[in-house]
Amino acid sequence: MKNLKENITKQKIFDFCIRDFVKGGYARSSIRNIAKGTGVSTGGIYYYFSSKDKIAQFLYDNATEFVLNKIKSGIKKARHNDREALKSIIYNLFDMTESDPYLIEFILYVKHKDFLPSAPPICSSKPFEYIKNFIKERIKAGVFRDLDIVIISSLIMGPIIRIIQLKMDGLISGDIRIYTEPLLDSIIISIFNNQI
């Protein structure tokens, strides 16, 4: 029972702080504001987190882990179908943007170094390292063209991030998941050895 209550409380803190850090910035957030926004007492916040820095680390770790797990599960479901694996990366990132825009904005656009100086740059975080390893394996297997990893990563992630950015900026009003197939086809043309 204690673990359930702890998980519910931490989830409340996570959900509120993701929005609060994105909307107002880390520096403007306070433990008092977090307590008010979550309905958890200030003492309750300090029970789980000794400081706002610890909350920020909790957000970063959990957000990157969530994105990593979505990407991993999508690639695993593709079962060695490279086109479907790549499609799952695109679709899952677009789906998370639609279903949880604050999470994606926190991952992609919040300047983590401002409050987590030891955090790796987002392009070196676990989800993006996993994608890089996927790319390296596909190059080695001869599926992707033998290009520099930076080039292939940019050809995959650059357009995905740009479409997400257009959505976040309000320049795309509809559901961005509809761009999955056209974007996938364009990426395949640029990186696959044989078009499938």
**Residue 196: its pLDDT value, please?**
53
Give the pLDDT of residue 27.
86
pLDDT of 180 > 50? The answer is yes
20-67 pLDDT, tens digit each: 999 988 888 889 999 999 999 999 899 999 999 999 999 999 999 999
Contacts of 93 (CB under 8 A, 6+ apart): 67, 71, 104, 160, 164
Pick the CATH number of 52-191 from 1.10.10.60, 1.10.357.10, 1.10.1040.10, 1.10.3720.10: 1.10.357.10
Count of all residues that appear for the chain in the document: 196
Please write the tens of the pLDDT for every residue from 58-103.
Answer: 999 999 999 999 999 989 988 789 999 999 999 999 999 999 999 9
pLDDT at 125: 84
Q: What is the mean pLDDT of the chain?
A: 90
Residue 144 has pLDDT above 90, yes or no: yes
Query: What is the pTM (predicted TM-score) of this model?
Result: 0.88
Cα distance between residue 29 and residue 137, in whole Å: 42
Residue range 173-192: mean pLDDT, rounded: 96
Rounded mean pLDDT of 117-136?
Answer: 86
Q: Which two tokens stand for residue 110?
A: 């919040």
pLDDT at residue 72, as a whole number: 92
